[in-house]
Amino acid sequence: MTRTAICLLAGSMAGGLTGCGAGAAGTDAKEPFTPQIVGTYEAEDARFIGNVHAASSRSGYSGTGYATGFDSESDGVAFSISVEETGFYDLVFSSAASDYKENRVFVDGVGYGEVITAEKDFAESTVTRVYLENGEHEVSVMGYWCYIDLDKVTVQTAEPLSEDAFAVSAKLADPLATDSAKRLMSYLADSYGQVVLSGQYCDTGSLGKEFQAVKKVNGNLTPAVLGLDFIEYSPSRVENGSTSRATDFAKSFWENGGIVTFCWHWNAPSKYLTGAWYSGFYKEHTNIDLDKIMNGEDPEGYDLLMQDIDAIAQQLLILQEADVPIIWRPLHEASGGWFWWGDCSAESYKKLYITLFEKLTGEYGIHNLIWLWNGQSAAWYPGDAYVDMIGWDIYPGEHEYGSQIGTFIKASKCSTDRKIITLSENGCVPDPELLKRDGAMWSFWCTWGGEFVKGTSNFASYSDQYTEGEKLAEFYANPLVITQDELPDLKTYPIREDAK
């Protein structure tokens, strides 16, 4: 039996989950779950790191005060906590700040997520589903965005996860989707929760430096998913001499049995470029106002955006003609605000996303796409009618191999339907055994290129900076991980009834 067989996860999983597909975000419990508090720990009594110290001038704290002085990434608080039973727990932090802040949470030195602080008064932020064995543990909060006051952490039992939450529909948002897109989606739905597909971004295709660097340390195994970017097809880059072979690389990888995902670092139209033309996807290098464009105040800007979409549509039509299905991830990471398509209201972003969907599927008749939304905040979700998969991009630091279960759960809650959740970009590769244990079976990971895998030499030396070579080889060899040679023949893969 190959690693693509269904129910690879059958049997017991940590935390009492059993059966095929057990352990995903969401819950179908018939009775409301009431968490049991197992301990509350005051920050002013914890161990201070760096500049952190106790204070009591801000009102609303519990205990005798709170911890303040998070001025840099070397400043933090370390709590010593204890649990009597092995299992999953939520860590509920109380913090306050003058404006929105994110700061990192570590459990026994492993990154587990962030404390989100968005209120001037003390308010709660939860890091969900942390696996703790019985005994003592260290929970630390370290500066990232810094500048918070931390009051306490409460440890409570985590809500059990649904037994059937990996049971997703293969139906695509585009009712006219091609058979090749339906076959790929059927495979993704069938394998979801059972295995995780390996993936790698490489702008020069499967023979490029990133792929070769990865293969040098993983036993010559080829990632199942190739990540590419339509960036160089953006008209404002073409005007400055950019060229690309991304479409050719996609066709070749599909013909050789792989899966292709595309993002688009959309370089703004030349009219709106204010800095280096090659950085025209960042907001600080443009003066584009998407709110005005989408509410009709800048009709010329709207026309220019439509012309840019026309250029990318031509490449997608080439891929459709070659019958290459694409996992399509446009307008990514919008809620972060660093790209121009996120430097606006969520409503304007959603209007642009829906316009893109309708223009490509309606005007151009492009139906070979699986729409992967990656806005990174539920407030920016355009709606189930326009989304097939939900992705999240996570860069937790160096040598951080955790499952990112908290983010997995957060991603799953963006939709009212049950969608496939994927790690659409990552720095460190997650440990597949932790994915299984925690119930965070991302559909695939797709490691970003450059420094995240490649050394500084002119060819394909591997860099241990983020994922150590030994770890990468271990992860790729794990039976839970699918490589290109283990994919089924996706050109003949059965189309599920719910996808027809």
pLDDT at 77: 98
Domains of the chain as residue ranges with CATH: 37-157 (2.60.120.260), 179-499 (3.20.20.80)
The question of whether 425 is a catalytic residue gets the answer: yes
In this structure, the chain runs to a length of 500
Structure tokens at 425: 């970009």
Mean pLDDT per 10-residue interval, the chain, length 500 residues: 33 30 44 92 98 98 98 98 97 97 94 92 96 97 97 96 90 98 98 98 96 96 98 98 98 98 98 96 98 98 98 98 98 96 98 98 98 97 98 94 93 94 98 96 97 80 96 98 98 97
Catalytic choice (44, 159, 425, 486)? 425
Cβ within 8 Å of residue 242, ≥6 positions away? 232, 234, 278
Q: Which residue has the tokens 């799953």?
A: 412
> What Rg do the C-alpha atoms of the chain give, in angstroms?
23
Residue type at 27 in one-letter notation: T
CA distance 33 to 29: 8
73 is catalytic: no
What does the alpha-carbon distance between residue 384 and residue 419 come to, in Å, rounded to a whole number?
Answer: 9
Residues 50 and 70: their CA atoms lie apart, in Å, by 8
- pTM of structure: 0.90
pLDDT score for 339? 98
Burial class (CB in 10 A: 0-12, 13-18, 19+), 217: buried
For the chain, helix, strand, coil in percent to 5 are 30, 25, 45
Q: Which of 333, 400, 468, 486 is catalytic?
A: 333
Nearest partner of 43 among 99, 94, 105, 112, judged by Cα: 94
Helix (H, G, I), strand (E, B) or coil at 100: coil
Predicted confidence at residue 162, as pLDDT, reads 84
391 backbone dihedrals φ, ψ, rounded to 5°: -120, 155
> Residue with structure tokens 């990888």?
253
Annotate 224-263 with DSSP letters as a single string: SEEEEE-GGGSHHHHTTT----HHHHHHHHHHTT-EEEEE
Residue 305: the pLDDT is 98
